[in-house]
Amino acid sequence: MSQDSESSVCNIFKDNSSKIINKLEMQIPSHFQIYSDMYKEYLHLLDDIFGTCIISEKEFFEKMNTDKNSMKNIKSFSDSLTDFWIKQIDNYDNYLKWYSQMRISGMKSYDQFVHIMMDSYSKSLSNFSTNFED
């Protein structure tokens, strides 16, 4: 850190906050990968549960001599639920995209506001120091 940056509280805070932000930004890819791996494992676990269910139920339903129409109705019902959930997943994905765009827009607006306020603050300090020198 240079001598000039040590003389300013804002520079000291800026330098240190930049270090923290850079560290967090460097971890973003690994955090996404960690959560992605966990989520994929969770999804595969659910898929596997239904895969093992097939083996157990096949023998059970064969012994019960179930009606073919019952299975068609169950399939139709299951297909309807699947279509519903796929649409819900798409809707949620669209919502997340909209939500993130809204949040980013809000952050950009706030950043502009802070810049305007800091400019005003700088002018006030400049006016104060000018009046102080007189």
Give the span between the Cα atoms of 6 and 101, in whole angstroms: 37
Helix ranges restricted to H, the chain: 3-6, 9-64, 68-133
Give the span between the Cα atoms of 17 and 23, in whole angstroms: 10
pLDDT at 103: 97
Instruction: Divide the 134 residues of the chain into consecutive groups of 10 and give the mean pLDDT of each group.
Output: 63 92 95 94 89 76 77 92 96 96 97 95 86 68
pLDDT at 82: 94
pLDDT at 6: 59
Amino acid (one-letter) located at 109? S
In the chain, what are the domain boundaries?
A: 1-66, 67-134
pLDDT at 20: 95
pLDDT at 90: 96
pLDDT at 130: 82
pLDDT at 1: 47
